[in-house]
Amino acid sequence: MTAVIGVAAGDALHAASAEGAPGRPHAALKQEYLDAVVAQGAAPLVITPDAAAAAAAVTARIDGLLLVGGADVDPARYGETPLNDSVSPGPARDALELALLASVQTRGLPILSICRGHQLLNVSRGGTLWQDLPAQRPDALRHGQCGPPDADGHEVRVAPGSLLHRIVGAERLAANSFHHQSVRRLGRGLQASAWSADGMVEALEDPAQRFVLGVQWHPEELLARPPHRALFQAFVHEAERRTTG
Ligand SMILES: [Mn+2]
């Protein structure tokens, strides 16, 4: 059966459309995320940031959850205050996505979380983040790459035997990199499954679950490359298993 993938949207305050003047709030989601789901034969269900109170009802109607990139997680969620002006929290999204993660994990549904989603997954388990790598880790690689989104940013090393390794079938992977924050202390029950050369956690997973995976890079921009497309293939395949019980 066709799997229904819940995709949590962000908001764009300055979007213009035929329905309203620029400056009015719009729910927003980069098309590539939806295309990546549809290309695997699944149906995306877009979840808007104001749906936090309905997270359990939404969860009952989906077979997998995709969390995507966007604004920074509010540092208050891990007991800190914003380090500097580069930190731009999106509190409404935090509330929605934390509620979704809680109810989805109760049902044991597959979770693929990307960039901000990867960081939020870590925070949801009590983990912390580097709020601003250029300020806090000037020794780190350049993780905010220039150039097109499908250009190589840096390589990642994949942990042998991890879920990620089984999916991509390689111990080294060229990835893109568009983040100024990064996982710092890992959350409960999570293991790192990929690192950049400077030791930053570029992927994490919960080995006690069938499919709870976060990646710091943007595979939705790299669908022409089999290892990155395979992330969506494996995720949707796992969601399809849920539809047949
Ligand atoms: Mn990176």
Distance CA 49, CA 97 (A): 8
Q: Under 8 Å CB-to-CB from 39, ≥6 apart: which residues?
A: 223, 229, 232
Per-residue pLDDT tens listing for the chain (245 residues): 899 999 999 876 545 555 666 666 778 899 999 999 999 999 999 999 888 899 999 999 999 999 999 999 999 999 999 999 999 887 889 999 999 999 999 999 999 999 999 999 999 999 999 999 999 999 999 999 988 999 999 999 999 999 999 999 999 999 999 999 999 999 999 999 999 999 999 999 999 999 999 999 999 999 999 999 999 999 999 999 998 75
Whole domain around residue 68: which residue ranges?
25-243
What the block records as the tokens of 126 is: 């009590």
Residue 91 CA to ligand 1 center (angstroms) comes to: 24
pLDDT at 44: 98
Residue 62 placed within a domain:
yes
Give CA torsion, residues 205, 207, 212, 214, to 10 deg.
Answer: 10
With CA atoms as reference, report the closest residue to 97 among 61, 73, 130.
Answer: 73
Catalytic residue list contains 115: yes
In this prediction, residue 22 carries a pLDDT of 63
Look at residue 26 in the predicted model and tell me its pLDDT. 77
pLDDT at 18: 57
Structural domain contains residue 235: yes
**How many structural domains is the chain composed of?**
1
Given a contact cutoff of 8 angstroms between Cβ atoms, the answer to whether 23 and 14 are in contact is yes
**C-alpha Rg value of the chain to the nearest Å:** 17
Give yes or no: 146 in active site: no
pLDDT number for residue 4: 98
Distance of CA 185 from the midpoint of ligand 1 (Å): 16
* pLDDT score at 244: 73
Residue from 26, 118, 154, 218 carrying the catalytic annotation: 218
Strands (E), the chain: 4-8, 10-12, 26-28, 43-47, 64-67, 111-114, 129-130, 154-158, 172-175, 182-183, 191-195, 201-205, 212-215
11 part of a folded domain:
no
Query: Does 238 fall in a domain?
Result: yes
Distance between Cα 180 and ligand 1 center (Å): 8
- What is the pLDDT, as a whole number, of residue 50? 87
pTM equals 0.95
Cα(236)–Cα(37) distance, rounded to whole angstroms? 7
Residue 86 in tokens: 């580069």
**52 contacts 42 by C-beta, under 8 angstroms:** no
Catalytic residue among 205, 220, 221, 240: 220
Query: What's the CATH number where 133 sits?
Result: 3.40.50.880
Q: Tell me if residue 218 is catalytic.
A: yes
